[in-house]
Amino acid sequence: MFETFSEMWGFAFMRRAFVTTTVLSASVAPVGAFLVLRRLSLAGEAMAHAITPGVVIGFVVAGLSVFSLLIGGLIAGVGAAILTAFLARKTILRSDASLASIYLIALALGIFILSAAGSAVPLKSFLFGSILGIDDASMILVGGVATVTLLSFAVLLRPLITSTCDPVFFEAQTRRPMLIEQAFMLLLVLNLLAAFKTLGTLMAVGLMILPATSARYWSSTITGQLGLSFLFALASCWVGLTLSYLFPETPSGPAIVLTAGGFFLISVLLGPLGFGERLRKPSPKTSSSLTQPSTRERPQ
């Protein structure tokens, strides 16, 4: 077994994959934790698809340039967020319905443009990523996004906690509460773009949501969930990459997300806030029968 791991670390592409996913885990963990706490998990999935046409247009115009993909995806993501907020305020549709409609159109448009352009890059690379083929520019992108995210959370952590726990009090005490919301959505888009090159548009949000939902079953505090989200994301990346190396036919991106799904199932069954606590607690009828004496034993 030691020889297998030593051989795996001997390949430069595996070392780059481990380093990139480690940095990515530190970046997406706080974003995913607050997506779960703010009940925006499906919004993250929708936004991951909404950036697709921008990334595809950037690729068609300038090729596989990280800068062009970043600019295109950023414009598409921010545009989808602004359009969703506008429709939710000015029309009868709520924000969830507006976002769902926009992301479905955006995903179909992105795939259509990619197919119509006759790209030499297969569609599978856009959908599932290519973590084992990560290049220097993509590693710089992941590192830059992680730096911006962690520095931003150093400033936004307290306002985000307040707006998550008591939004009414937060809006009453803040002049422009929408700035915090938009800043958080911008961090979401940036992290989705960073994860796009590694896990693809379909798998990117999995590394955000699954570790965060797993952590929710183990801790009831926000700081505990932030730390556990990072640990679960990191373990999912390392185990998933190892499995993809041991079984060459296994794609690395889905292996990482399936590993995160395995941690989620374990957390549901064994976590103190999941089914594990309910299984350990005796039922009310059983506890009452154990504490109350029977009618024959009661004193007259």
- CATH for 2-278, options being 1.20.1250.20, 3.40.50.800, 3.40.50.460, 1.10.3470.10: 1.10.3470.10
* pLDDT value for 136: 85
Give residue 285's pLDDT.
54
Map tokens 């039922």 to a residue.
Answer: 283
Average pLDDT over the chain, rounded to an integer: 81
Domain residue spans in the chain? Answer: 2-278
User: What pLDDT does 64 receive?
Assistant: 65
List all residues 6 or more positions away from 115 whose beta carbon is below 8 Å from its beta carbon: 123
User: Does pLDDT of 2 surpass 90?
Assistant: no
| Close Cβ partners of 103 (under 8 Å, ≥ 6 residues apart) | 45, 46, 47, 49, 50, 80
pLDDT at 296: 47
The pLDDT of residue 226 is 94
Q: What is the mean pLDDT of residues 238-259?
A: 87
Query: What pLDDT is attached to residue 78?
Result: 83
* Angle at alpha carbon of residue 246, lines to 244 and 250, rounded to 5°: 35
pLDDT at 287 over 50: no
Give the pLDDT confidence of 134-191 residue by residue, as tens digits: 888 888 989 999 999 999 999 989 989 888 888 888 877 777 777 888 888 889 888 9
Burial tier of 88 (Cβ tally within 10 Å: 0-12, 13-18, 19+): middle
Report whether 19 contacts 198 (CB < 8 A): no
User: pLDDT tens digits, residue range 98-144?
Assistant: 777 887 888 788 778 777 776 555 556 666 667 877 888 888 989 99
E strands along the chain, which residues? Answer: none
Q: What is the pLDDT of residue 290?
A: 45
Measure the CA–CA gap between 162 and 179, rounded to whole angstroms.
Answer: 14
Return the pLDDT at 270.
Answer: 92
User: Alpha-carbon distance 53 to 111, whole Å?
Assistant: 8
Express each pLDDT in 41-82 by its tens digit. 777 777 877 887 888 788 777 766 777 778 888 888 888 888
What pLDDT sits at residue 292? 52
Task: Kindly state the average pLDDT of the residues 243-247.
Answer: 87
Distances (CA, A) of 300 to 120, 288, 291, 295: 90, 21, 18, 10
Position with higher pLDDT, 292 vs 280: 280
Helices 177-203, 252-270: axis angle to 10 degrees equals 120
**Which residue matches tokens 């970043």?**
70
Least confident segment among 15-19, 159-163, 170-174, 192-196: 170-174
